[in-house]
Structures are given as structure tokens and as C-alpha cells.
Amino acid sequence: MSGTSATPAPEPVTALHLGSGEPLLLLHGVLLSPHCWEQTATLLAARCEVFAPALGGHWGGPGFPDGRYSATTLADRVEAQLDDMGWRTCHIVGNSLGGWVGFELARRGRARTLTAIAPAGGWKTPSITQIRAAAKIAPMIPITEILRQLGGYPVENRLVRWVMARLLTKNPHAVSRADISAVVLAALHCPALPALTADTLRGPSLANMSDLTTPVRVILADSDRVLPAYAHGRRFLRELPGSADRIMLNRAGHVPMLEDPERIANLVAEHIYASRDHLRAV
């Protein structure tokens, strides 16, 4: 992340699509974009056909004319994309908001397996945990609006990049400058943020997960500064079927694929192939 020379600013990406094999859908979190999956997607493309779209209202993604952004409407859009690709079902991996969308798609029968990494939506409605989740996101609305007025300054500013990397990871220095620059740009171009924040407060959370038949692996991070595992992981640990994998990542933050893409790729591939071959993942 250090260095004084300017690097070309990343361009928005509507979707990553690479590799061949088992169909695999990667879903990013709020304020992010497909860029956060690039390294992990490249590793997984050796075994899978990987598709990582930009979610609606996010950098590179489609805008919704009515402005109704929620986990449900985002899932509607992704489901339409799967239909266009001819993917009746696929393996799904979602981080944060993407994990919430992944659960919505699994409930619709679209998931062969689901890997949820630091998933959102695991609060009761209403609850203190729900309010805390919205309180974490809400300050980003005025902050991103102010930074957006500064042009390219936030992307080139070392402090801004470090603060963003520290929020999302345990080890900011493990994140490349290109990756964190893409994160900053995505955060500055997310018109869905106000609606998603409001939906967190007033909308329903995830439906009961105890009856899910999809093989699920939930991965929580011990150093998650956005959705701390001790509060936001409880419902997943308690409510998912006994057959679901529950993993706690040590020394990892909210978006672990930024700091350790190989580790995440291995955990995803292990779950896909253990489930495909009817083996219990360890």
C-alpha cells in the first residue's frame, strides 16, 4: 500500500467471468465491487467457471430506476443474470451483503452449495444487533459524499487507503495498492448505500435457516471490525442445520479475500468438492 508513484485508477467492472468447470457465483459486499474477488476468482478459475457480477447500485452494477435496493431486490437481479447464463443452479459464495443475497438465492433453490463469508442479515428484527449494523454503515453515507467531491484525492491519499484497509482486514499491509484503490473507488460510487442502510433498519432479516437443505459453510472472522463475529455470527452458529460447516478464521477481517485470497479459495474449493462427492468437509 505504500509508495509515492501514482498508479492507474482501476476501471469499474460489470462482472468477472473466467475459467471453466463447475459454475461458481461470487457475490461482493456493500460498498465493494467484483474487484475484491479478482485474486480469489483467478485461483478458483482453475477448477470452476467463475462469475462475479457487480451488484445493483454498486460500482459497475446496474442502477434500479425505483431506487429500491435490498437483499431481496439484489437477489432478483442476480437470479435474472443466472437465467441469462443458463445456470439453473450453481455454487454460491457471498461476503457480507453478498452472503445475505446468497442465502436468499439458496432459499429459491439456486444454490448447489453456499459459502457465506462474514454474512450480513443474521440479526433479529427488531434488535440491538440490527441497530448496531445500521450504525456501522450509516456514517459512510456523508463520508463518501464528501470524499466524492474531492476527485482523485481519496484514491491517491495514503491515509484514506490505510483506514479503508484497516476497516476491512486484519492486516492492512497484506492488501495491494491496486486492490485498496479499487475498494475506495467502489465505496465512492455506491448509490445503493442509503437505501440499503434504511432497509437494514426497517426490513426483515434472513428467514429461519434451520430448514435449509443446501450444503452451507459459514465462515466468520475473528478480527471482523464491521460485523463482529461474537454478535453477528451467533444466529448462524445456532440456527443453521447440524450438517452445516462453521469455521472461524483466525487473524482475518471482514473481507478476508483481500488479505488472504489463497486461503479463501482453498476453503471455497474444499466445500464445493466435498459436497459434490458427498464427503463431510473438515
User: How much of the chain, in percent, has pLDDT values that exceed 70?
Assistant: 95
CA–CA separation, 13 and 20 (whole Å):
20
| Position 3 confidence tier, pLDDT thresholds 50, 70, 90 | very low
Catalytic pick from 96, 181, 205, 275? 96
Whether residue 5 is predicted with pLDDT greater than 60 in this model: the reply is no
Query: Catalytic residue among 35, 189, 232, 254, which?
Result: 254
Report all structural domains of the chain as residue ranges with CATH numbers, in order of start.
15-276 (3.40.50.1820)
Q: Is 134 exposed, middle or buried (0-12, 13-18, 19+ CB in 10 A)?
A: middle
CB 245 within 8 A of CB 117: no
In the predicted model, what is the mean pLDDT of residues 117-121? 97
Read off the pLDDT of each residue in 207-229 and give the average, rounded to a whole number: 97
**Least confident piece of the model among 101-105, 147-151, 169-173, 275-279:** 275-279
The catalytic residue among 224, 245, 260, 271 is: 224
In this structure, the strands spanning 216-221 and 111-117 are parallel
**How much is the average pLDDT of 238-255?**
97
The pLDDT of residue 8 is 75
For the chain, count helices (H), then strands (E).
13, 7
Per-residue model confidence as pLDDT tens digits over 45-81:
999 999 999 999 999 999 999 999 999 999 999 999 9
Does the structure show a pLDDT above 50 at 281? no
Task: Decide: 117 and 260 in contact? Cβ < 8 Å.
Answer: no
Which one-letter DSSP state was computed for residue 59?
Answer: T
How far is the C-alpha of 96 from the C-alpha of 89, rounded, in Å? 21
Span 245-266, average pLDDT: 98
Please report, rounded to a whole number, the percentage of residues in the chain having pLDDT higher than 90.
92
**Three-state DSSP state, 91:** strand
254 among known catalytic residues: yes
Give the pLDDT band of residue 7 (cuts 50, 70, 90).
low
**Stretch 234-248: mean pLDDT, rounded?**
96
| Averaged confidence pLDDT in the chain | 94
Query: 211 an active-site residue?
Result: no
Per-residue confidence band for 278, with pLDDT thresholds at 50, 70 and 90: low
Residue 64 identity: F
Check if 96 is active-site. yes
- With b meaning 16 or more CB within 10 Å and e meaning fewer, what string describes 71-110? bebbbbbbbeebeeeebebbbbbbbbbbbbbbbbbbbeeb
Give the pLDDT score at 282.
37
Count CB-CB contacts under 10 A for residue 278: 7
Mean pLDDT in residue range 186-212? 95
The pLDDT value recorded for residue 2 is 41
The whole-number pLDDT of residue 279 equals 55
pLDDT > 50? residue 132: yes
Give the residues across from 51 on adjacent strands. Answer: 17, 25
- At 200, list the grid cell: 437494514
pLDDT on residue 9: 80
Report whether pLDDT(196) > 60: yes
Residue 80 phi, psi (nearest 5): -65, -40
